[in-house]
Amino acid sequence: MWAEQSPEDWWAKSRIAIRRSIRAAGIRAKDIVGAGICGQGHGPVLLNRKFRALFPCIIWPDLRAIKQAEFIEANLHREAAAYYTAAKLLWIREKCPKIFKEMWKFVLPKDYIRIKLTDTVLTDSGDAAGTMMYSMEGKSWDYELVDFVGIPRQKLPDVRPSEEVVGEVTRKASAETKLRAGTPVIAGTADYICTRLALECYLKPRKAVVYLGSAPSIFTVGKGGNVVGGFMGIGGATLRWFKERLCCLDSSTVNYEALDKEAEMAEPGSGGLLFLPHMMGERKPAYNPYARGVLFGLSLGHERRNVVRSMMEGVAFQLKCILKSMQDVEKLDEILVIGGGAKSFAWVQVVADIFNVDACMPHSVEMGTLGLAVLLSSSLGFFGSVSEAQKKLSIDVARRASPRREHNQKYDELFSLYCDLEKALARFYGRVHSSL
C-alpha cells in the first residue's frame, strides 16, 4: 500500500502552472504583490544542505508505516496513524538508515515549492501540527515523540505562522516562473487548512460542507459552536483508479464526463451493488488502516454504470457514517459540495438523496486557493486580520440538487445494510493484510 511522489515533479509542474496562470490572467508580474503556497499535508520531504530531496515523498495515503504507528502507540500510549508524518519518518529511519542520517532537514510538501521560490527552509504551524509531532497549544515540537522517532532536534524545521512573510522570490525562481524577483512570499499551509479558512463564512449549525476529493470529508458546526467532522481514507481517487486501471482498454472514450453519464443511467442502489470505499484504509469514523475496498453483490448482470454509481454511493454512505458518529450535531438543512467530485452533478445528486437535504454546487469547487488568498491579503496589510478578510468572502451557489423522496427511502434501507456490512467485515481486514 505504497504511494509516493517526486518533489522535483511538483516543482516542474508548478513552474508551468505559474507561468500559464500569469499569462491567462493577462496581468503583469510587477502587479502581483505577493505569493503563497498551499498543498497536500502529511508527507515528509527529506532535504540535504543543498535543498535537494533525498527520497521520494511518502504521501498521506501511503500505509507502509502501519507497524511503526502501532509501535508508537504501544510505547508512548498515544494515538498514532500510518497516514501521518511521524510514523512515516520512523519507517524511513528503520528501512533507509543511510538516507535518514544524511537528512539535513525535513519539510512538508508545500514547503518544497516555497523553498524553490525563496530558498527559505521552514514550515508553518498548521502543517507542523499535522505531523503529530507539534503542539499548537504549546507552540513547540513534541520532543518526547521527536526523540522516540529518532529525529535529531537540529534537523527539525523552524515553524512560523502560516500568514507570515518569510521570504522573497529569488532571481533564479523569477527566471523559471516569470514572477517578479523580490515578490513577498508567505509561509503558507496545508490545503485542508486553507479550505477551512475559505469556508468560515458558510459553516453554521444545520449546514455542512462535503469535500469530494482524493480524501472526502464532511464538516459542520456542533451545538457548542465548534467545527466538527472528519476525513475518509480515500474517495475521489477511487474513480480515477477505476478509470485508469479497469477501463484502460477503452481509454480513448472513457473520461469522467462519460462515467458521470453512465452513473446517471444506473438506478439508485446500483442494481444491488454496495461499495465499501476503503481502498487505502480508513480514517473516520474509526481509524482502521487494514480496511480494504469491497464491492458486494456483484453478478453477471451488472454493467460498468452500476459499478461507477456504487462507488459514488459508497463514498456518500461513508460520509454519512462520519456524520452519524458526531456528537451534538443538529439535523442538516443544506450541504455545500466542493472538490473535484462536485463537478459531477450525478454525484452531488447522490449526496442530496442519501443525506435527504439540498446539496449545493458553488461556482468555484476548489476552495484552497481562496483560503490562501485570505492569508496573503491579511499578511500584506489589505485587511487588519485573517478574520476581517474572511468576512469579505461569500459563497455563490451555481446549482442545487434537491433530494428525491423515493430515492431517499431506498437509500435509507441500503445505508442500514451498508452499516451491517461494515461491522461484519471489519474482523477480516487484518487477516487479509497478515496473509500477504
pLDDT tens digits, 55-74: 999 999 999 999 999 999 99
Read off the pLDDT of each residue in 354-372 and give the average, rounded to a whole number: 93
Both 199 and 165 in a single domain?
A: no
User: What does the pLDDT read at residue 275?
Assistant: 97
19-23, 97-101, 186-190, 366-370: range with lowest mean pLDDT = 366-370
Whether residue 430 is predicted with pLDDT greater than 90 in this model: the reply is no
In this structure, the answer to whether residues 309 and 171 fall within a common structural domain is no
Do 177 and 208 belong together in one domain?
no
Residues 199 and 183 both lie in one domain: no
CB within 8 Å of 294: residues ≥ 6 apart: 274, 275, 276, 278, 421, 425
Listed residues 171, 187, 203: the one ending a domain: 187
Q: pLDDT for 248-305, tens place per residue?
A: 766 667 888 999 999 999 999 999 999 999 999 999 999 999 999 999 999 999 999 9
- Looking at the fold, whether 224 and 276 belong to one and the same domain comes out as yes
Residues 174 and 272 in one domain: no
Grid coordinates standing for 39?
498543498
| pLDDT at residue number 358 | 97
Better-scored residue on pLDDT, 348 or 234: 348
Residues 215-241 have a mean pLDDT of 91
pLDDT digits (tens, 9 = 90+) for 157-194: 999 999 999 999 999 999 999 999 999 999 999 999 99
Spell out the residues 6+ positions from residue 109 whose beta carbon is closer than 8 angstroms to its own. Answer: 7, 10, 39, 40, 41, 43, 45, 57, 59
Q: What is the pLDDT of residue 346?
A: 95
Query: What is the arithmetic mean of pLDDT over 411-418?
Result: 97
The domain total for the chain is: 2
Q: Say if CB 82 and CB 63 are below 8 A apart.
A: yes
Query: Which grid cell is 195?
Result: 479550505
Q: What's the confidence (pLDDT) of residue 434? A: 56
| pLDDT for res 246 | 86
The pLDDT > 90 percentage for the chain reads 83
Confidence of residue 44 (pLDDT cuts 50, 70, 90): very high
pTM for the complete prediction? Answer: 0.92
Residues 208 and 177 occupy one common structural domain = no
pLDDT at 364 > cutoff 90: no
Higher-pLDDT residue of 103, 254 = 103
Q: Which residue has the higher pLDDT, 115 or 245?
A: 115
Q: What is the average per-residue pLDDT within 129-156? A: 95
CATH value at residue 400: 3.30.420.40
Residue 247 vs residues 173, 267, 314, 411: alpha-carbon distances, Å? 40, 21, 20, 27
Whether 28 and 147 share a structural domain: yes
> Could you tell me the three cell numbers for 229?
467532522
Q: With cut-offs at 50, 70 and 90, classify the pLDDT of residue 433.
A: low
393 or 36, greater pLDDT: 36
Q: Residue range 303-322: average pLDDT?
A: 97
**Do residue 349 and residue 415 come from a single domain?**
yes
The predicted pLDDT at position 429 comes to: 87
End position of a domain, from candidates 167, 187, 207: 187
Average pLDDT over residues 329-335: 93
Looking at residue 67, what is its pLDDT? 96
Q: What is the mean pLDDT of the chain?
A: 94
Residue 155 in this model has a pLDDT that exceeds 90? yes
Question: In terms of domains, do 221 and 334 share one?
Answer: yes
Residues 177 and 202 both lie in one domain: no
Residue 34: the pLDDT is 97
pLDDT band per the 50, 70, 90 thresholds, residue 327: confident
179 and 33 fall within a common domain: yes
- Determine the distance from the C-alpha atom of residue 385 to the mean position of all C-alpha atoms in its chain, rounded to a whole number: 26
Higher pLDDT, 96 or 396: 96
Residue 30 CB neighbour total at 10 angstroms: 10
DSSP 65-125: THHHHHHHHHHH-S---TTSHHHHHHHHHHH-HHHHHH-SEEE-HHHHHHHHHH---EEEH
For residues 390-400, give the mean pLDDT: 90
Parent domain of 277: 195-435
pLDDT score of 254: 81
- Evaluate whether 228 touches 329 at the Cβ level (below 8 Å): yes
Spatial separation of the C-alpha atoms in residues 305 and 246, rounded to whole Å? 13
DSSP label of 35: B
The pLDDT tens digits of the residues spanning 75-86 come to 999 989 999 999
User: Can you give the pLDDT at residue 306?
Assistant: 97
Domain boundary among 150, 165, 187: 187
